[in-house]
Amino acid sequence: MLNTIKGFISSGELLKGGFGIELESLRIDKDGILSSKEHPDVFGDKLENPYITTDFSESQVEMITPVMKTSKEVFDALNVLYDIVSLEIGEEYLWPESMPSIIGENINIAKYSSNKKGNEARSYREGLAKKYGVKKQLISGIHYNFSFNETVIKKLYEKREDKNVSYRDFKDSIYLKVTRNYLRYRWFIVYLLGASPIIHESYEKEDLNKINKINKINCDIYGDKEAISYRNSKLGYKNSTNLYADYDSVRGYIESLDSFVYNNYISNYKEFYSQIRLKAKDNSNIKESLLKDGINYLEIRSIDINPLERVGISLNDLKFVHLFTLFLLNEEENSYKLWQEEALKNQLDISILGLEDINLLRNGESISKRQWAHYILEKMSIINSDFNLNLDEIIEEKKEMVNDYKKTYAYKIKDEVSKQGFMNFNLNLSKKYKKEAYNNRFRLQGFEDLELSTQILMKEAIKRGIKTTVVDRNDNFISLERGGKKEYVKQATKTSKDSYITVLIMENKVVTKKVLAENNIKVPNGKEFTNIEEAKLNIDDFIGKPSVIKPKSTNFGLGISIFPDGASKNDLHEGLKLAFNNDNTVLVEEFIKGKEYRFLVIDDKVCGILHRVPANCIGDGEKSIRELIDIKNQSSLRGKGYKKPLEKIALDDNAKLFLKQRGLDFDYIPKKDEVVYLRENSNISTGGDSIDYTDLIPEKFKEIAIKAARAAKAKICGVDMMLEDYKSEDSPYAIIEINFNPAIHIHSYPYKGTERNIAKEVLKLLNLI
């Protein structure tokens, strides 16, 4: 089928589509025992958070990515959700595989708000518990939702044989074909991605009898050396009766589901546990929507959670599954009647015997698993090369898994379990993944090109179930939506809450000073000049006094001269020259002694106070500067090119010169507790340290910062204050400037001190939480 559009579609278009992953995962304690705690509050109402909710039990987190356009994007989105959840479950961990961990006494069925929707969700779960048992409900998996790129379907439609078919019917026929083929070939997915070959003894023992070939491996686990996926075996989560729906038409499908309900095999469509599902535009009214709008996408449900991957599936496997769906679309069908029964048998056989060289049934005839697998891979390979999909490596990887069962996930898992023990194997992974999530905490995977502040805000919004969309990536422009209320935000702190004029007031130092002074807030005394000759005639007042000369509008420190101990007339004139080289208007101001603190004020509240210190190291009396910096640079907070909250300290010519002027070099060994600075300026961008002072500075100065923000009517701003003695209420102070668009990441992830959840304050300001 695909060959009709060969040459008419780019690889990029064919690799696009709609992809969404649902990942279920059990919360466990440090010993691997299923959590009896409730779903964390921070995720909000389970029925409202589109990204993070629960499945059957309180302890079964469900992560749901939005629909993404590529496998990479959906993989990143899943990572984001995983990282968020990992860090919001306190001392708990996420169990890394499909079959449950140690099931204790308490399995709390998920609780909901007491409204109609909530009550329905609850009573549905209670019904399931009764019918299938609570333990079975804990089996977790990955649901892979996908649709083909609409452009691809359109091109196929253009090249269709039957010119009388409508687009809508054509599209349905494509998805139905893929569904049927998926059912036929699903054994292959179970073989390759199956990853649940072991069952803990706390799982329903009576159930084990359903399978002949299962043994107690050691004191607490059951399994068998040929098994691949107990989740996809008879022990897994399936309807009590084998149900074969009609997949020839949408109408037929619906009629068969209706008959299953009518015959009480299932209570509703949702209970039809097929390995693949037809999905509609509106799944809350699936019957009506399927009939009205046709098939919108498909949901593959056979994929086990792969404990070897943090998020349960690798990017390569996501790409592989997508290529597999293209194979299913392409592959002609056989008219063999009992195909559904045969496919089920193949699935069940593979799931418990798959690591053996078994035979399967193809259209009623026996075929070796290996031969059939190679056939499929060969066909996939052709698609790959026909469309230059560049997936050769992935196909090769799967070929090896076919040829050598030791390459399968199932084998690898059993191998590791035999070495480490079942609980250790899984717990080690859980802990490792949680640590990775922690190291990723300031990063939004897949959006690393965005500013850190934006990544942090988005992550917080996603966590809280706020619909988060990047509107313009280059511009760090996002939208945040909840309950019909939509807010646009640029660069994390540019919002609808600040007025335009407020920003312009902050942008203009002269105006800022006037506004602050009018509100009786101490600002440095100073004069403003627009002409250097006039300035020279009028700055005699500043001779010998601590003073600073700066261009009015620069924000990067260019053209600023500081004379902390007073300057001569000549110095002042030189300073003026430098400043006028950078702006038409120049300010000459008294210099306020002390250190500069950044007060981040959001909605009349000081959310963080930060002081910045130039790049430095602290001696231990043993290591050289070079070694000390090297150790400091290993912190996960430090990176290069603003990808992390802090920058690595460069041992560059500047630092070399700076040390040389002080009679030092990189090999100097600082004495214990000796602080050695490597440059003058305290910018974070040159390796400076950020230190949180939020709880250390007297309330009085916080109130002054708030007053300053109020004077400019700013809802979000950074107030830069000089304080001579930060510990004393009586310290002299002055406000140097107020900044719009203050960075939030420096407060969220400081070098030292408490990490402040600034993003939450922004969301609060926007009335989104």
User: Measured from the CB of residue 235, what is the shortest distance to its own copies in angstroms?
Assistant: 48
Instruction: Please measure the distance between the N-terminal and C-terminal CA atoms of the chain and give it in whole angstroms.
Output: 49
Q: CA nearest 137: which of 147, 125, 146?
A: 125
Tokens of 618: 């602290």
φ, ψ of residue 141 to 5 degrees: the values are -160, -175
φ, ψ of residue 63 to 5 degrees: the values are -110, 130
User: Measured from the CB of residue 534, what is the shortest distance to its own copies in angstroms?
Assistant: 8
User: Measured from the CB of residue 315, what is the shortest distance to its own copies in angstroms?
Assistant: 22
Q: Which is nearer to its own copies, 467 or 623 (CB)?
A: 467
Tell me how far apart the alpha carbons of residues 170 and 184 are, in angstroms, rounded to a whole number.
21
User: Measured from the CB of residue 471, what is the shortest distance to its own copies in angstroms?
Assistant: 5
CA 228-229-230 angle, to 5 degrees, is: 125
Is the sign of the CA dihedral 588, 593, 595, 598 positive or negative?
A: negative
Q: Which is nearer to its own copies, 495 or 624 (CB)?
A: 495
Q: Which is nearer to its own copies, 503 or 650 (CB)?
A: 503
Cβ count near 730 (within 10 Å): 9
Q: Which is nearer to its own copies, 370 or 536 (CB)?
A: 536
Q: Which is nearer to its own copies, 684 or 744 (CB)?
A: 744
User: Measured from the CB of residue 201, what is the shortest distance to its own copies in angstroms?
Assistant: 55
**Cβ-based neighbours of 206, under 8 Å, separated by 6 or more:** none
Residues making contact with its own copies (CB under 8 A): 10, 471-472, 474-475, 477, 487-490, 494-505, 508, 510-511, 514-515, 530, 537, 584-585, 713, 740
User: Quick one: CA torsion of 97, 102, 108, 112, rounded to 10 degrees?
Assistant: -20
Q: Which is nearer to its own copies, 15 or 178 (CB)?
A: 15
Q: Which is nearer to its own copies, 269 or 477 (CB)?
A: 477
Q: Which is nearer to its own copies, 12 or 127 (CB)?
A: 12
Rounded to a whole number of angstroms, the CA Rg of the chain reads 32
User: Measured from the CB of residue 691, what is the shortest distance to its own copies in angstroms?
Assistant: 29
Tell me how far apart the alpha carbons of residues 431 and 310 are, in angstroms, rounded to a whole number.
10
Q: In angstroms, how far is CA 304 from the centroid of its own chain? A: 21
Name residue 608's beta-bridge partners. Answer: 600
User: Measured from the CB of residue 13, what is the shortest distance to its own copies in angstroms?
Assistant: 9
Q: CA nearest 95: which of 433, 463, 445, 437?
A: 433
Q: Which is nearer to its own copies, 8 or 438 (CB)?
A: 8
Q: Which is nearer to its own copies, 23 or 602 (CB)?
A: 602
User: Measured from the CB of residue 742, what is the shortest distance to its own copies in angstroms?
Assistant: 13
Q: CA nearest 228: which of 428, 406, 422, 25?
A: 406
Q: Helix 250-262 crosses helix 286-293 at what angle (to 10 degrees)? A: 160
- Cβ pair 545, 590 in contact under 8 A: yes
User: Measured from the CB of residue 16, what is the shortest distance to its own copies in angstroms?
Assistant: 12
User: Measured from the CB of residue 478, what is the shortest distance to its own copies in angstroms?
Assistant: 10
Tell me how far apart the alpha carbons of residues 571 and 564 are, in angstroms, rounded to a whole number.
12
Write down the H helix ranges in 146-202.
150-158, 167-193
